[in-house]
């Protein structure tokens, strides 16, 4: 099967992104902040949203891991405090 042309792939990505952006609902304050930071940082919406999502997912993964660690790992003293010999 022949590969798709780079132009077609670019158009497909653009359509997918535009379709997503038309369907995403931002609050007024988030829309205003996005526009303001676009100008301040000289970045497009896609870059800002992707960077924000990367930070969000990293923080959430760390919270989940911390919660798992706190539920399953006891320190030496915590373990032996509850053991009767």
pTM: 0.56
Q: Which of 16, 15, 37 is nearest to 26 (CA)?
A: 37
How far is it, in rounded angstroms, from Cα 78 to Cα 76?
6
SS3 label, residue 9:
helix
pLDDT (0 to 100) of residue 7: 62
The SS3 of residue 29 is helix
pLDDT tens, 35-73? 999 999 999 988 999 999 999 999 999 998 888 877 766
Residue % of the chain over a pLDDT of 90:
39
Confidence (pLDDT) at 24? 77
What is the C-alpha separation between 36 and 39, in angstroms, rounded?
5
Tokens of 55: 């930070």
Domain boundaries, the chain: 28-73
């Amino acid at each position: 099967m022949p590969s798709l042309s780079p132009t077609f792939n670019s158009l497909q990505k653009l359509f997918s992104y535009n379709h997503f952006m038309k369907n995403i609902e931002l609050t007024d304050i988030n829309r205003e902040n996005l526009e303001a930071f676009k100008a301040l940082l000289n970045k497009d919406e896609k870059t800002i949203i992707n960077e924000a999502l990367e930070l969000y997912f990293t923080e959430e993964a760390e919270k989940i891991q911390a919660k798992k660690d706190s539920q399953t790992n006891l320190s030496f003293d915590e373990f032996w405090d509850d053991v009767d010999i």
